[in-house]
Structures are given as C-alpha cells and as structure tokens.
Chains A and B, each alone.
Chain A
Amino acid sequence: MIKIENLHASINGKEILKGLNLTVNAGEVHAIMGPNGAGKSTLASVLAGREDYEITAGNVSFLDKDLLELSTEDRAREGLFLAFQYPVEIPGVSNVNFLRTALNEKRAYHGQDPISAKDFMALVREKSALVEIDPKLASRSVNEGFSGGEKKRNEIFQMAMLNPKLAVLDETDSGLDIDALRIVSQGVNALKSPENASIVITHYQRLLDYIIPDMVHVLYDGRIVKSGPKELALELEERGYDWIKESL
C-alpha cells in the first residue's frame, strides 16, 4: 500500500523527520505513537502534501506511484485520506455540498460520471448511520459550530463517504469522550477491509482498545525507533517513553 523510505522533512529550515521508514500493506492497521514533538503530525501533513514542509530526502511509494510527485488533491483522489487533528470550519458551505464536490472530483479523476443526487443521498444515509452521525449534521456548514466530538465524527463520516485506500488518522482520539471514542472507532473498524489500510496516530493507548492495530511503531525524534505487536502499546502506556529514549 505505502512504503516510506528514509524520509527527511523540514519546516522553516528545521528538520523534523530524520530518515523515517515505514511500510504498510493492504488490510493492515498500523499505530504510530510517540512523545510530543516527535514528528507524528508532521508525518501526517507530509503524506497529505502540505506545502509548508520541505522534503529534503527519501521516497514514498503509494500504490506503486511516487506520492511525493503528486499534488495534494491528486493524492486524495488516488485514495489517501487524512482525518485532521483540528478539522477546519468552512462557513456557509454545507457538508453535503462539500462532500459531493469532493466525491465528484475524485470520480472525474478516475474517468467516472458524477454521482446522481439520488445515489448520493442514499450514500449519505448509509454512511451517516455507520458512524452514528445525525443526518442533519450533513446539511450543516462544514464543521461550523460543531463540538469537538462532532468534528471528529464528521471526519470519520467524510472518510466513509470517500472510501479511501489509505486513511491517516491524526490524533483522532484527542478531545473525545469515551462514547465518541467508541463511535469513531466503530466507524474505523467498520470501514476496514482487505483492500485498504490505516495509519492511526495517537498519543494514548486507549484508542487502541477499540482499534486493534497489527503493528505499533514508536516515533521519536523524527524516526521510527521501535516497532512491535499491539502489546507494545500497553507497555508504552505503562512505562512511558523514557525507557525507549534511554535504550537509544
């Protein structure tokens, strides 16, 4: 699905990612954990194609394409989805209008006709039920006046609507109460299939009670310094990150 090799990225001349390697195969869920400032969100932004970052070295192959050569929107159309840590408000633009535009841009990219209004509304109903989002939320402006939990749920709803190949969830659990966490996780799990994959970036182990990862990676100082099965997350929760720092 995605293969990241020796990725170096910096912002304003400061290097954040310092030779990151990661391979995720179809059907897998990988968790990335790490202390503050390790470069977790930078990784998400770089993969999505945020312009503020400069890639100084490395390769990223996504579905056999050179990801770094693709524009932000083409990455999305190829099937990369980023669930934002801080979803952005777009006043006056309804969620449905936003999603329909996004969906049709993706379809056009793949040479498909625009989705009919009827099929689109059926899809909205189906997916909003999946993530237990009030269908009324779909007609409101994108994230405007949404609570923190609603925003995150809306991210998962958008993900369900766009049906990505690879979803990157950037601290989707931050700011969620336990019910919202359950619903968001259920959504992610329901969307899991042998054809797609997820990278779940998180601070805390508790999200991983709901989303069971195939692999857990520790990101520290711009590199993956330790990888292991899901039990690694529990160990991190118990012992913190210091023992890893010391072992380096």
Chain B
Amino acid sequence: MSNYTENELAQDLENQEYKFGFVTDIESDTVPVGLNEDIIRLISTKKNEPRWLLDYRLKSFAIWQQMTEPEWAHVQYQKPDFQAISYYSAPKQTKKYESWDDVEPELKETMKKLGISMEEQQRLTGVAVDFVMDSVSVATSFKEKLSELGIIFCSFSDAVQEHPELVQKYMGTVVPNTDNFYAALNSAVFTDGSFCYIPKGVRCPMELSTYFRINAGGTGQFERTLVVADEGAYVSYLEGCTAPQRDENQLHAAVVELIALQDAEIKYSTVQNWYPGDKDGKGGVFNFVTKRGLCETNSKISWTQVETGSAVTWKYPSCILKGDHSIGEFYSVAVTNNLQQADTGTKMVHLGKHTKSTIISKGISAGRSQNSYRGLVQINKSAHHARNFSQCDSLLMTDECGAHTFPYIECKNPTAKIEHEATTSKIGEDQLFYCMQRGISEEKAISLIVNGYCKEVLNQLPMEFAVEAQKLLAISLEGSVG
C-alpha cells in the first residue's frame, strides 16, 4: 500500500462516484432535477404503474406545457423554477433527525405548547423508530376493522396497484388535468397521496386520518388525494396536522378530489400549518392546492379548514352541486401573520335543482400580512330554487395588515336565493381591555377573542382536532396585536 498515492485515491473516488452516481440516486429514491417526459416515465416506472396512468401523466405534462402560471390571485412571490425541482423522492424520508437531541428547541417548545404528547412529538419529527413501529401496528388493527366493512383506505400508490379500476374510474373526473396550471403539473408528476373508498351504505365508524395510514410520513410535494363515498355512504376525513411542519420543499401543489355519490356524505377537515417563513418573509412553503368535490343527488360535502401556515397560499376547496338536493358547505379560518399571503376561498357551482350551499369564511390578518377571500357562487340555468348563504368576516390585528374580499356571484336562474354578508373589524381595544380588567392576560385575551370569532368554523371540526386548532390559533397570533 506504500505506493498508493494521492492520485490513485482521487481516481478511486472518482470511479466510485461514477460507479454509484446515477444508480445510487435511484436506489436512494430521488431522480435528477428538472422536468421532461423521461422524468415522468421514470417516476411511472419506479412506481410500477399501469400504462393508462403513464399516458395520463404524459398527457397532463403536454397540457401543462401549454399553460402559464396564474397571476390573478392577490399574492406576490418569486415564481418557482420548475426545472430546478426534483420531482420524485421516496415517501419514506420521515427520519429527519438522528436523535431527539438534534431537534430544534424552538420546534420542541411549539409542540409542547400544542400539548402534543412526547410520543407524538417524536413521531412527528420522525425520530422514534420504535414508536413508528408501534403506530404501524395501531394502523394495522384499524385497517383490519375498516376492511371488514369493505372500506379501502391506503396510499394512492397502493390503490393504483390494488384497485386500479376504482382509481381509473374516478381520478381526474372532478379536477381534470386541464383544470389549471398546478393541477396539470400535479397530474403529470404526483408521487403519492391517499385513497379512500367507502362502499354503498357504509358509515365509516371512525375519523379517517392520514395518521393511521401506513407510510403516512413524507407526503411529498405533489400529493394526490381521492375520496369516493359510494351511494348512501358517510366518511369524515382529516387531513394535516397541527404540529409545525418544516419542509425544504418550497412548492406544494396538491390535488384533492372528493366524490359523493347519491345520498352520500363526505366531511373533509384540514388543519394546515406549513412553515410560513421567518419574520422577514424568508423561506416558507408555497401552497397551491386544487381541492374540489362532486355531489350527486341528495349528497353532501363539507369542507372545513383551519390554515395558519405557508408563506403563500392559493386554495379554493369547492363543490360541484350536480345532483338535485345536494349540499355543499365551506367553513374556513385563514390566519396570516408577519409577511404571509393567503388568497383563499371557495367555489360553489349549482347545477342541480334545490341545491344548497353555505360559506362561512373567517380571515384573520396580523403583522404585515395580506389575507384575501375569493369566492364564486355560480347558479346555473338548471339550478331551480338553489340557495346560497355566504358570510365572510375579516379580523385585523394590526394597522399594517390587509384583508380583502372578492366575492363573485353569477346567477342564471331567477328562482335562486343568494345571501352574502361581509364584515371587517379590527380586534377591539375595548374587548382586550374588558378581558384584562377581569384579570386575563393580553395573550389569553387575544386567544379567547379569536377563538370566539372562529367558533362557527371550529365547531365543525371533530373534537380533538378542534382543541388542537384552538391552540394553534393562539400560537400563530402570539404577540400580534399592534
């Protein structure tokens, strides 16, 4: 070994790099950055997808290339470089920290405030391998119970392998790949997500949460969710998590499709707390999501969302009220602080007769943030006796933030009844003083007032979720009155 020179070492390393370079990349489940047809083929191959799905992806990619990024939203940001993103990374990247000691104290503190148990904290940060094992067994027992009822609840990839006929039948029927720029992108490059099918007449006995799904961690940038409630079925689905989610991915473009067949009901609740960037607006996630539900006759879809995270949010969970007597609901709390921007709202498209929709939107702006509600109520010619009630409230915490409301109403049927109410208020000095005179600290007072303001929405959330959401609101708005 004496004549083993530096040169030789360098050569060896070079060779090694060559040897493992591309291949290793694949084994570690990432593909090179950039987006082209080959990358899409690679993703599809790695996921062992059927031909029709690859075709769908390629077609979506072709459509996406013809589209331009939308600019109508009331948000400003540096547009992502789509060729600088790696479009596939394995969904198993949950282990972000080597040990519990490596987790940032700030993150630990926030989770403590949220009242998340130690085990849960470790699970969320992906530290405790033991507990992950544990949760797998929990998940398995839940899965058994669900499968007895014929309920399918699995990752999107598993669904493609195990229930291709259902996926093919419903995927893209509510949010077509031609829908918008981000939906087209998602359709081309989505990596994983969730799939849920509730058979005819079955009432799902528990809240379905991604928490109980095996391989729940690392949902990825381009998530795809499909929930189908067959005739007369009922399901309540929980998405997201109240713990702060640090994510290196700047861009998140998810697609969520809900299908409620005749007499079915879907409740879809979201608590979103993506990293919002720091006080100066550095970093933070761009959250560009397309969420839409289709209601057949006499069915009902309720969207409930509490959003406190992301640097830029662009999101409009909507309902297509196709069937007669179908019902769409949208309950939303959107909080923006510091330099966050949110443009969010809903679309209620009334097609069927006697369709009903309710929109309750509560925006809270703090810091120097901008918070916009954008909603469309569209009553089509066929929608006799349709009804809509919209209420859009904005609460301002400081003098420097902004709240905007963009309600659009299109009515083509004279029998429709549409009501729209909107208020904007600044958090009352009088209310704060009143609370403080009763011995309540300013922080607690803000939390009380804000939670009271959001009550109609929080009441829609399942109990445990609501409690966490309340705490989350308090944390998001700490020290924000100005």
* CB of A211 within 8 Å of the partner chain: no
CA distance A87 to B435 in the complex (A): 11
User: What distance in Å separates the Cβ of B335 from its nearest Cβ neighbour in chain A?
Assistant: 15
A92 to B439, Cβ gap below 8 A?
no
Decide: A92 near B456, CB < 8 A? Known: A73-B441, A97-B448, A101-B448: yes
- Indicate if B3 sits at the interface (CB-CB under 8 A): no
Is A73 a contact partner of B439 (Cβ separation < 8 A)?
yes
Interface presence of A105 (CB below 8 A) = yes
Contact B437 A48 (CB under 8 A): yes
Contacts of A84 in B (CB 8 A): 434, 437
Contact of A101 among B430, B437, B440, B442 (CB under 8 A): B440
Q: Which of B411-464 contact A (CB under 8 A)?
A: 428, 430-431, 433-442, 444, 448-449, 451-456
Q: Which of B430, B431, B444, B452 has the most CB of A within 10 A?
A: B452
Query: Which residues of B lie under 8 Å from residue A11 when comparing CB positions?
Result: none
- Looking at the complex, which one of B428, B433, B449 makes contact with A50 (CB distance below 8 Å)? B433
**Given the interface contacts A88-B428, A88-B430, A90-B431, does A76 sit within 8 Å of B437 by beta carbon?**
yes
The residue in chain A whose Cβ has the minimal distance to the Cβ of B447 is A101
Across the interface, do A98 and B437 meet the contact criterion of CB distance under 8 Å?
Answer: no
Tell me whether B434 and A93 are in contact (CB under 8 A): no
Asked if B453 contacts A72 (CB within 8 A), the reply is no
Residues of B within 8 Å of A92, CB to CB, are: 451-456
The docked-state distance in angstroms from the alpha carbon of A90 to that of B433 is 12
> In the complex, what residues of B have CB within 8 A of residue A75's CB?
437
Q: How many residues of A contact B (CB 8 A)?
A: 31
Q: Are B441 and A105 in contact, CB atoms less than 8 angstroms apart? A: yes
Which residue on A lies nearest to B455, using beta carbons?
A: A92
Interface membership of A141, Cβ < 8 A: yes
Q: Can you list, as one digit per residue, whether each of A75-102 has a CB less than 8 Å from chain B (1) or not (0)?
A: 1110001101001111111000111011
CB within 8 A of B433: which of A72, A81, A89, A102?
A72
- Residue in A49, A50, A101 whose Cβ sees the most chain B Cβ within 10 Å: A101
Task: Identify the closest chain A residue to B438 (Cβ).
Answer: A102
Given A87-B434, A88-B431; A93-B440 close (CB under 8 Å): no
Complex Cα distance A48/B456, Å? 32
Residues of A within 8 A of B441 (CB): 73, 105
26 A-B pairs with CB atoms under 8 Å apart are A48-B433, A72-B433, A72-B437, A73-B437, A73-B442, A77-B439, A81-B437, A82-B437, A84-B434, A87-B434, A88-B431, A88-B433, A88-B434, A89-B431, A90-B431, A90-B448, A91-B452, A91-B455, A92-B454, A92-B455, A92-B456, A93-B448, A93-B455, A98-B448, A101-B448, A102-B439
B→A interface (CB under 8 Å): 428, 430-431, 433-442, 444, 448-449, 451-456
